[in-house]
Structure 1
Amino acid sequence: MSWSHYFEILKADNNLEIEFYTKQCEKENWSVRELRRQMKSMLFHRVALSKDKEGVLAIANKGAEINQPSGIIKQPYVFEFAGIPEKYPFLEGELEEKLISNLEAFLLELGKGFAFIGRQYRITLSNRHFYVDLVFYHYKLKCFVLIDLLCGVQHKN
């Protein structure tokens, strides 16, 4: 890691967070730009909220080890790169358009192993057609990941 990596990591709040970002940089080979993005999106805190304390300590000591499919899907996702204000009531079509126009950043937020397949992908079940907003393939899990965007705002036509 470069001096710039250490300079950014030392801005963290506590030793556990510093260890976490250091191990993740080493394991994931993050650029300084990616490290800044992960720290700004509070990856450490999101992992801490989704896992037990011993799990976070283990991640800080040896990096994130993914043993189950549930470990690959983050909760929650942070889409700051889409440029939509936090309190702005947007339509799912707007969100989809923003995510597609920022596909590289979106794939980085999803995590390792995701490959983009398509958008508004038609799926037929029992002779009924459905359209999935975004379709990805996860090469480690060897399965498709279907994302149906749902925004809580309903607009009348």
Structure 2
Amino acid sequence: MEKLQWDSFTKKIYIHSPIKKLYDLWATTAGITSWFLKNAEYKSLEGVIRKPSEYIQKGDTYVWQWYNWDGKEEGEVISANGKDYIEISFESSKVSIKLEQKNNVTIVILTQFDIPVDEESKLKVYYGCSNGWTFWLANLKAFVEHGVLLNETKINLKVNELAGYEFVNM
């Protein structure tokens, strides 16, 4: 067994869907807000807000907002090839999404890397994001294959100060 590394992790899931559909769900405002976010805004290098169905591009900036969390994540699109790979800055690190066709299904490979290795980042980024991405990839699969969302969009979970650590469907 390899030694645990605090600076990166990888999560994988098979989803019965064509790569293009999954890429659209990650790489457009309309797509990413259908299963993952409450709001998303992408701006081009020129400062123009991308249309809901327009693909993100390298150099775009983004602002993401979730249900049941008052904060927002701001970052940059590092790479987006228009078909099967995206890389963004995220939570003091980077996240890549790679889509690969395997025997009539697509495997989604999410890697978060360049994670700082201080104690706070080990808890909040490595542990927190690793758990978070596990849920969100399962949510993506449920949405694509069964048309249901597992995340809570109607009940205010924020009234519990430990909600982000206790609820699996934030």
More helix by share: 1
Q: Which has the larger radius of gyration?
A: 1
Which of 1 and 2 has higher RCO (CA within 8 Å, sep 6+)? Answer: 2
More strand by share: 2
What TM-score does the superposition give when structure 2 sets the normalisation length? 0.25
